[in-house]
Structures are given as C-alpha cells and as structure tokens.
C-alpha cells in the first residue's frame, strides 16, 4: 500500500487554541483523524508528523526517501523563509503538496510569499482542513501515488513492455547471428587472399608491411559506412590488417625454416 505523509510545522500543535478565525476550532488530532479517514477512502496509508523544529522537519523529509510516496506539508511560518526546508523538498524527489488552513494570499504581506512553493507540485490554501483532503486527492490521482490495484495494473503493463522488448531483441540477435556467419565466411576468404599475397611478396622480395596500402584501406573504411560508425569501421580494419600481418609473418617464418 502506498503511503502519504501528513506533515505539520510549528504552532500547528496548538490548533483549537490559536486564532480560530484563521485556523478553525478543530485540534491537530481532529485534522489528523480526518486525513486518516480520507486515506482509507483513497486506499492509501497515512502517516502523521508534527514538529516545531526546522531540523526535525528536514530530517523527516530526508528519511521519507524510499518510504513515502507523497507528502502533504503545512510548514507553518517556515513556509515564508526556510530555504533549508525548500532544499530538502527539492532533493528528496517525492511529490509534495504545500497546504495552508488559511488563505495566505489575503493576510499579512509577509505571509503572501512562499519560498517552498516552487519545489512543491501544488499549493492549496484557504480551505481549512479540506486543504489537506484535496491535497491527498491530487497526490493519489495526479502524482503517481497509486493504490495496490493500480500498482498491479502498472506491473502488468511493464511486463507487457518487457515481453515486447524481449521479442524485438530476439529478432535483432537472429539478424546479427546471420550477419556474423556471413562475416566469418568473408574473413576466411580474406585470409586466404592474405596467404597468397604473402607468398607472392616472398617470390619478388617485397616487404610485408605497406603503410600506404594500410592508409588507403582505412580511408575506404571510413567512407564506406555511415559517419556514426566511421571510427569503429577503421578500428575493425586495423585489427584485420594486424591479423593479416601476423599471418604473413608466420608464412614467411615457416618458409625461411624450410
């Protein structure tokens, strides 16, 4: 089952006592119970956390990696100035919805600005407890926090993709096997010609090594393939020429021994 973290910052522990005009009369426990009930409806597990401490909030964000699938965050006053919390949200790569009970855009000027908004997937404010519930719905429906049934569907889709990819790979490997077989036939033919050239050179007293000829072969290799493969083609021809020289030297040595 996927997990949503409901995270509340400083002074939200005092809900029910703090300025009911802006924050309502319900307690933090009431808010968390509403979120837990919403989680049951959405098919997700809800984990609740509250702290007055900036460092504790940051640590909780860090330890959510690999454990939590989405976060609903009311950072309280830290919303307006905590670059440290902003950085933590950015680095964890978990979708975070910023929420506020009151409408921060119609309050004191200093509350209008959120430094964390840019790294959250959405901001929802002014709906009271409903801000949290709407945020949870958005996480489930839009930001990849799926229930187990959807995970199973996703798993089946991934399996189908893997099966299709496996089939395509098999086709390509069959094609490469056929090409390799042709290349080995051509390689054998080439080496037989190398043998003949070595014997002809021995008869007329020519050296095995021919730098100008090798450069000509490399130039042709680069021009004979798509530009993306030119360098690789030259490396292939260098290896073939190395094998050719070794073969010619072997023939010369055997001949000298005779």
Active site residue 78: no
Angle at 138 between CA 137 and CA 144, to 5 degrees: 105
pLDDT of residue 145: 46
Q: Are residues 119 and 192 in the same domain?
A: no
Q: Count CB-CB contacts under 10 A for residue 39.
A: 22
In a domain, residue 152? The reply is no
Active site residue 100: yes
Q: Can you tell me the distance from the alpha carbon of 82 to that of 53, in angstroms, rounded to the nearest whole number? A: 11
Supply the DSSP symbol for 205: T
In a domain, residue 159? The reply is no
pTM: 0.56
Q: Considering the candidates 23, 105, 132, 193, report the single residue annotated as catalytic.
A: 23
Structure tokens at 120: 């959250």
User: Could you tell me the CA-to-CA distances from 169 to 64, 163, 175, 256 in Å, in that order?
Assistant: 38, 10, 10, 50
Q: Are residues 126 and 243 in the same domain?
A: no
Structure tokens at 26: 């319900």
In a domain, residue 154? The reply is no
Reported as a single tens digit per residue, the pLDDT across 9-68 is: 999 988 877 666 666 678 899 999 999 999 999 999 999 999 999 999 999 999 999 999
Reported as a single tens digit per residue, the pLDDT across 171-226 is: 888 889 999 999 999 999 999 998 998 888 888 887 766 678 888 999 999 999 99
Q: Are residues 19 and 126 in the same domain?
A: yes
In a domain, residue 155? The reply is no
Residue 121 Cα to chain centre, angstroms: 18
Reported as a single tens digit per residue, the pLDDT across 142-169 is: 986 454 555 555 556 666 777 778 888 8
- Residue range(s) defining the domain that contains residue 231: 177-257
Q: Are 44 and 4 in contact (CB under 8 A)?
A: yes
Structure tokens at 228: 């993306």
Residue with tokens 């950015």: 90
Q: What is the CATH number of the domain that holds 196?
A: 1.20.59.10
Q: Are residues 109 and 209 in the same domain?
A: no
Q: Considering the candidates 22, 62, 100, 105, report the single residue annotated as catalytic.
A: 100
Reported as a single tens digit per residue, the pLDDT across 234-251 is: 999 999 989 988 888 888
Q: Are residues 228 and 140 in the same domain?
A: no
Q: Can you tell me the distance from the alpha carbon of 120 to that of 70, in angstroms, rounded to the nearest whole number? A: 11
Please tell me the total count of domains within the chain: 2
Q: Are 72 and 48 in contact (CB under 8 A)?
A: no
């Amino acid at each position: 089952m996927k997990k949503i973290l409901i995270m509340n910052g400083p002074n939200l522990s005092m809900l029910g006592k703090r300025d009911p005009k802006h924050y309502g009369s319900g307690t933090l426990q009431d808010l968390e119970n509403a979120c837990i009930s919403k989680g049951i409806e959405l098919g997700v597990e809800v984990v609740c956390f509250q702290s007055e401490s900036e460092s504790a909030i940051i640590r909780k964000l860090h330890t959510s990696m690999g454990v939590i699938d989405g976060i609903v965050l009311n950072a309280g006053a830290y919303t307006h100035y905590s670059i440290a919390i902003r950085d933590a949200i950015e680095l964890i790569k978990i979708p975070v919805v910023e929420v506020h009970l009151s409408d921060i855009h119609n309050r004191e000027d200093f509350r209008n600005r959120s430094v964390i908004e840019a790294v959250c997937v959405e901001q929802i404010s002014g709906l009271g407890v409903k801000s949290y519930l709407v945020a949870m719905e958005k996480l489930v429906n839009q930001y990849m926090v799926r229930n187990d049934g959807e995970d199973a569907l996703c798993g089946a889709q991934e399996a189908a993709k893997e099966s299709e990819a496996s089939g395509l790979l098999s086709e390509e490997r069959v094609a490469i096997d056929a090409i390799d077989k042709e290349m080995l036939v051509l390689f054998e033919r080439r080496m037989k010609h190398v043998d003949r050239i070595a014997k002809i050179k021995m008869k007329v007293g020519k050296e095995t090594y021919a730098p100008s000829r090798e450069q000509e072969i490399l130039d042709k290799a680069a021009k004979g393939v798509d530009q993306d493969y030119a360098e690789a083609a030259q490396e292939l021809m260098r290896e073939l020429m190395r094998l050719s020289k070794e073969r010619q030297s072997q023939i010369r040595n055997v001949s000298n021994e005779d």
